[in-house]
Amino acid sequence: MSEEYSGGGPIPRVTLAKLVLAIGGAAVFFSGIRWDSPTVRWIGIGIVGIGWALRFATRKRAESDDEGPPSD
């Protein structure tokens, strides 16, 4: 990803996914309010819930060159 935020580095994929799910879920939720559709509102809540659940996702560790004991 070539987009950068004010932190100077690329936006992590998990953070971007959380942001997209939160905004998309809110848009679906408010569309459900406008259309007076409980089903669409619950779908929006579910999408936001998935974004919230991603807060517990862990990033993979970068593998270091010095794994394990040194060999002679």
Query: What are the DSSP calls for 26-62, one per residue?
Result: HHHHHHHHHTT-HHHHHHHHHHHHHHHHGGG--PPPP
Query: Quick one: tokens of 46?
Result: 């579910």
Q: Is residue 41 part of a domain?
A: yes
pLDDT of residue 19: 94
Looking at the predicted structure, is the pLDDT value of residue 3 above 90?
A: no
Which residues constitute the domain of residue 52?
13-56
| pTM, full prediction | 0.67
Looking at the predicted structure, is the pLDDT value of residue 37 above 90?
A: yes
Q: Is residue 20 part of a domain?
A: yes
**Tally of domains within the chain:** 1
Residue entry with tokens 């799910």: 21
* pLDDT-derived band at 33, boundaries 50, 70, 90: very high
Q: Is residue 17 part of a domain?
A: yes
* pLDDT-derived band at 65, boundaries 50, 70, 90: very low
Query: Quick one: tokens of 48?
Result: 């936001």
Average pLDDT, integer, range 42-57: 93
